[in-house]
Amino acid sequence: MLLRVHTEKPVWYWTISVRNTGRAARCVDLLYGQDLGLAGAGALRSNEAYTSHYIDHRVEQDPALGPVVLSRQNQPQNGAFPWTMQGCLTGADSFATDGFQFFGLDHKISGEPEACRQSELLSKKLQYEFAYAALQARAFDLAPGGSRDVEFFALFNPNHAAASGPADLRDIGEVKRLRIGLTRGQPVVASPAPVTLFQAPLLQTVDLTDGEIAEFFGRDQRCVEREDGRLLPSSTDRTRTWC
CA angle in degrees (0–180, nearest 5) for 96-122-15:
50
Cα dist from 96 to 14, 78, 137, 157, 181, whole Å: 18, 28, 12, 21, 30
Cα separation of 147 and 19, whole Å? 4
In 3D space, the residue among 97, 95, 86 whose CA is nearest the CA of residue 175 turns out to be: 86
Give pLDDT tens digits for 37-71: 999 888 888 888 889 989 999 999 999 999 999 99
pTM: 0.79
What percentage of the chain exceeds 70 in pLDDT? 87
Q: Could you tell me the residue ranges of all domains in the chain?
A: 2-180, 206-240
2-180 fold: Beta-galactosidase; Chain A, domain 5 (2.70.98)
Give pLDDT tens digits for 116-172: 999 999 999 998 889 999 999 999 999 999 999 999 999 999 999 999 999 999 999
